[in-house]
Amino acid sequence: MSVSDDSRMPPTRVDHVGIAVEDVDTAEQTLFALGCERVHRETVADGSFEWATYVLGDASRLELIAPVEGESFLTDYLDANGPGLHHVTLEVADIDAAIEALEEAGERVVGYSVEDGWTEAFVSPQNPTGALFQLMEYHDDYADKGPDEALFVHGERLQNE
């Protein structure tokens, strides 16, 4: 099934690959050995997990996510699968248009939420790739987390054409 001409995906690109780990401090040593530089680290408001973003070269980005306190989707994931690839994040210029295009193409989109700095939704991993795709549209205030050249692929947010 293909997306119809009247419901095309808005501009989209790979933002980062998320890797689930038991502990960011331990796991990031491998990323440092690969030449990555950490550009951001944050614990979510409820304290259940933390995430850190790393750049490698001029556009490649990785994210480590690790549990901090209590049970969460992440502890369940690690118990079932161990450390490893968790999700692929796609930056979209217009998340609502992206969701519409995907649903028209027969994809199941779940977990829509507005966060501090971005809006996200997920393409269920019950698709033929088996991958969890996070769709993310940045808000203007995301830039408050650090310098644009580190936070965004090629230093700027994706825009509608």
Q: What is the pTM of this model?
A: 0.86
Tens digit of pLDDT for each residue in 100-118? 999 999 999 999 999 888 9
Tell me what pLDDT residue 53 has. Answer: 93
Q: Is there a contact between 120 and 110 (Cβ–Cβ < 8 Å)?
A: no
pLDDT score of 4 more than 50 = no
CA distance 24 to 11: 31
Q: How far is CA 81 from the centre of its chain?
A: 19
pLDDT digits (tens, 9 = 90+) for 7-40: 589 999 999 999 999 999 999 999 999 999 999 8
- Contact status, residue 124 vs residue 108, Cβ threshold 8 Å: yes
Is pLDDT of 150 > 80?
Answer: no
Is 110 exposed, middle or buried, given 0-12, 13-18 or 19+ CB atoms closer than 10 A? exposed
pLDDT tens-digit readout, 125-134: 999 999 999 9
What does the pLDDT read at residue 7?
A: 58
**Of 143 and 70, more confident:** 70
Of the two residues 58 and 53, the one the predictor is more confident about is 53
Sign of the dihedral through C-alpha 93, 77, 145, 112: positive
